[in-house]
Amino acid sequence: MTGDWEGCHSTCWDANADANQGQRGLTNQLTKCGYPLGIMVNARGERFVDEGEDFRNYTYAKFGRAILSQPGGFAFQIWDSKVTATLRQEEYGDGVVEKIYNGTVQGLAASLVELGLELSAKDRLVATIQDFNKAVVAYDVQNPASSWNPAIKDNKGTTDLALPKSNWALEIDEAPFMAVKVACGITFTFGGVAINPTTASVMDEKGSQIAGLFATGEMVGGLFYGNYPGGSGLTAGAVFGRKAGKSAARRAAEVVG
């Protein structure tokens, strides 16, 4: 056994999904990775990650784990009407996820209490959004040439905010406001079996290759530590799958020969 056993491939996941299983037929419908266009808050009404730190492919795995660490293991993603139409329909379309709408931030906070927002956190959530908006305006004043562009890291951030948003920061100020409740979906652990990187043979505790035993994909440990870039698991599966296949074919030829 090797690798980061404290880490896992995780993602922002529909909080209404079954707690103990995935549904392959839904493909990516249960993932909820539109947070770079808005903010995420926990049950206390507080932001806990820099939603604009990087493209979602480089942050969703560690942000999913961050959600798991929040009170109750869930969070709320929040947007205003400027960006809701740009959210991925596969994840946020009508009938795909429960969407909470309200014409005011105060009303939205009250609605979220029914979904787990702490009763005492209603005013804090409103203050969180107000402080966020002020920080966006302050940045725009200092950087009048900045422009919002979700296709690139636009550096359109916040000023004097304890937890900044580094890119894609827009005021949350145009009704209706929308929220979605998310949890953490875990796909696989970063820990796994040790393999020889050349042959994909599984190694024993002494570091020797176990003849005829190969591993690839999510069974392999030592590839990821703390985070996971989107698509790298598929790449690792292809690379080490080919190595394992070649090694297995070579062994079969030797046995037959």
φ/ψ (deg, to 5) at 91: -100, -30
CB burial of residue 89 (10 Å; 0-12, 13-18, 19+): exposed
pTM of the model: 0.91
Q: What is the pLDDT of residue 23?
A: 79
Q: What is the pLDDT of residue 33?
A: 96
In a domain, 2, yes or no: no
b/e 73-84 (16+ beta carbons within 10 angstroms → b): ebbbbbbbeebb
Q: How many domains is the chain partitioned into structurally?
A: 2
pLDDT at 156 over 80: yes
Specify whether the CB–CB gap between 180 and 100 falls below 8 A.
yes
Determine the Cα–Cα distance for residues 67 and 62; give it in Å rounded to an integer: 9
Same domain, residue pair 175 and 207: no
The domain that holds 56 is classified in CATH as 3.90.700.10
Mean pLDDT of the chain: 95
pLDDT at 180 over 80: yes
pLDDT single digits (tens) 30-42: 999 999 999 999 9
Helix (H, G, I), strand (E, B) or coil at 178: strand
Determine the Cα–Cα distance for residues 100 and 179; give it in Å rounded to an integer: 5
Q: What is the pLDDT of residue 30?
A: 93
Same domain, residue pair 60 and 34: yes
pLDDT at 21 over 80: no
pLDDT single digits (tens) 230-243: 999 999 999 999 99
Same domain, residue pair 149 and 69: yes
Same domain, residue pair 133 and 36: yes
Helix (H, G, I), strand (E, B) or coil at 244: helix
Q: What is the mean pLDDT of residues 42-70?
A: 97
Query: Confidence class of residue 24 from pLDDT cuts 50, 70 and 90?
Result: confident
Query: Confidence class of residue 136 from pLDDT cuts 50, 70 and 90?
Result: very high
Q: What is the mean pLDDT of residues 207-232?
A: 94
The structure tokens listed for 110 are 């009250």
Same domain, residue pair 130 and 153: yes
pLDDT at 20 over 80: no
In a domain, 54, yes or no: yes
In a domain, 180, yes or no: yes
In a domain, 151, yes or no: yes
Same domain, residue pair 26 and 143: yes
Sign of the dihedral defined by the CA atoms of residues 173, 178, 181, 186, in that order: negative
Determine the Cα–Cα distance for residues 210 and 199; give it in Å rounded to an integer: 11
pLDDT at 77 over 90: yes
Same domain, residue pair 42 and 120: yes
Q: Which domain holds residue 234?
A: 192-256
Mean pLDDT lowest for which of 8-22, 95-109, 112-126?
A: 8-22
Same domain, residue pair 172 and 246: no
In a domain, 235, yes or no: yes
Same domain, residue pair 121 and 174: yes
Same domain, residue pair 94 and 75: yes
In a domain, 46, yes or no: yes
In a domain, 1, yes or no: no
Helix (H, G, I), strand (E, B) or coil at 10: strand
pLDDT at 22 over 90: no
- Long-range CB contacts for residues 161-167, cutoff 8 Å, separation at least 24: 161/131, 161/132, 161/135, 163/47, 163/48, 163/49, 163/50, 164/50, 164/135, 165/39, 165/50, 165/51, 165/52, 165/132, 165/135, 165/136, 166/50, 166/52, 166/53, 167/36, 167/52, 167/53, 167/54
Q: Which of 133, 160, 185 is the last residue of a domain?
A: 185
In sequence order, the β-bridge partners of residue 184 are 12
- The DSSP code for 217 is G
